């Protein structure tokens, strides 16, 4: 039986080795060598000059995550209180945009936000001054929130629906008004969902490049763009690109480690889904 299950897992093990472990090792190899293949720390040391890009990425990613959380939590809470039928309809509506191509959706925002885009045209039509929106940090954050908020809502929703109505009634019974029920029972019990939601929004937001490229113009370079440039762009330098990737990975790991400190491990009902 045991050898049997081992055999069954073999394809996945091979897949993981070839497409996850090996590339990671390659990233490490490139990061620690120069173009001639000699060992060097030059790449890693030169990552420091891009610290402003790192800070901007983390700042914009964190901002987008916070906004997603503040918008997503109430929505997930409201959905979890609906009748079962309406719940599944609402969840579908949340996921619906994800069925559309990511690039297409971001292009759509471009045409909305442009100086001569739909929003400005509408503003001009009613006699209001035009607002410059495209190629700003705000547009990048908007793009991140728009694209990644479903990943915040879904884990929150899944945790919130699992909270036993009896437990909420028990809190009311013991003297908690609606505000206290939320603060003392619902919020702490939904922390696993908050943590997985934050993880699932923050990680892709920090490393995105297409959103900043399309909505942020040239002035809002993010780490993703930087890496993109090292591999496909004018500044072709895969060794530096690998080094930046490696540093980014470490930063994200540290962020996740800090996040998980909030989860004391005693909570029931894991927040991870999908």
Partner 1 sequence: MSRAGLCVNNIRHATKFWRGPPRRRKGDASELENTIISLKDIAVSFDGEQVLKSFNLDIRDGEFVTLLGPSGCGKTTVLRTIGGFITPDSGEVFFNGKKINDLPPHKRAVNTIFQKYALFPHLNVYDNIAFGMRLKGKSEKEVKQTVHEMLAMVNLTGYSHRGIGQLSGGQQQRVAIARALANEPKVLLLDEPLGALDLKLRKDMQVELKKIQQQTGITFLFVTHDQEEALSMSDTVVVMDGGVIQQIGTPTDIYNEPKNAFVADFIGESNILDGLMLEDYTVKFAGHKFKCLDSDFGKNKPVDVVIRPEDIDVVEPDSTHITGDVTNVTFKGVHYEIIVDVAGFKWMIQSTDCREVGERIGLSLGPDDIHVMEKSEYSGTFGDYSTFSDEMEEDINASEEASEEEEGAADEI
State how far the alpha carbon of 70 is from the alpha carbons of 57, 64, 161, in Å. Answer: 20, 10, 18
Name the residue nearer to partner 1 (CB basis): 132 or 184: 184
Q: Smallest distance from the beta carbon of 167 to partner 1, in angstroms?
A: 5
Q: Residue with structure tokens 């470490």?
A: 250
Name the residue nearer to partner 1 (CB basis): 150 or 192: 192
Q: Smallest distance from the beta carbon of 178 to partner 1, in angstroms?
A: 9
Q: Smallest distance from the beta carbon of 77 to partner 1, in angstroms?
A: 17
Q: What angle do CA 252, 254, 260 make, to 5 degrees?
A: 100
Task: Report d(CA 171, CA 180) in Å as an integer.
Answer: 8
Type and span of the H or E element at 175: none
Q: For 45-101, give the DSSP string.
A: HHGGGGHHHHHHHHHHHHHHHHHHHHHHHHHHHHHHTS-HHHHHHHHHHHHGGGGS-
Name the residue nearer to partner 1 (CB basis): 115 or 178: 178
Q: Smallest distance from the beta carbon of 173 to partner 1, in angstroms?
A: 5
Name the residue nearer to partner 1 (CB basis): 143 or 197: 197
Structure tokens of 119? 């929003």
Q: Which residues bind partner 1 (CB under 8 A)?
A: 83-84, 164-167, 169-177, 180, 184-185, 188-189, 191, 266-268
Name the residue nearer to partner 1 (CB basis): 5 or 266: 266
Q: Smallest distance from the beta carbon of 266 to partner 1, in angstroms?
A: 5
Structure tokens of 188? 């702490």
């Amino acid at each position: 039986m045991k050898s049997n299950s081992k055999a069954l897992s073999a394809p996945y093990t091979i897949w993981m080795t070839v497409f996850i472990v090996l590339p990671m090792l390659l990233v490490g190899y490139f990061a620690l060598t120069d173009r001639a293949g000699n060992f060097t720390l030059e790449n890693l040391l030169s990552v420091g000059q891009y610290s402003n890009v790192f800070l901007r990425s983390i700042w914009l990613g964190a901002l987008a995550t916070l906004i997603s959380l503040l918008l997503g939590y109430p929505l997930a809470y409201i959905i979890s209180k609906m009748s079962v039928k309406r719940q599944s309809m609402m969840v579908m509506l949340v996921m619906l945009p994800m069925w559309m191509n990511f690039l297409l959706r971001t292009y759509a925002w471009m045409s909305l936000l442009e100086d001569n885009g739909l929003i400005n045209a509408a503003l001009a039509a009613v006699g209001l001054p035009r607002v410059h929106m495209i190629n700003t940090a705000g547009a990048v954050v908007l793009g991140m929130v728009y694209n990644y908020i479903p990943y915040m809502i879904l884990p929150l929703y899944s945790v919130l629906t699992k909270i036993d109505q009896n437990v909420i009634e028990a809190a009311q019974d013991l003297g908690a008004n609606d505000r206290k029920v939320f603060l003392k029972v619902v919020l702490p019990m939904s922390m696993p969902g908050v943590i997985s939601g934050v993880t699932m929004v923050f990680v892709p937001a920090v490393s995105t490049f297409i959103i900043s490229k399309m909505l942020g113009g040239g002035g809002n370079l993010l780490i993703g763009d930087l890496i993109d440039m090292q591999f496909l762009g004018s500044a072709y330098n895969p060794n530096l690109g690998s080094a930046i990737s490696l540093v980014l990975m470490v930063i994200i790991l540290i962020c996740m480690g800090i996040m998980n400190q909030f989860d004391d491990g005693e909570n029931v009902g894991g927040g991870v889904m999908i």
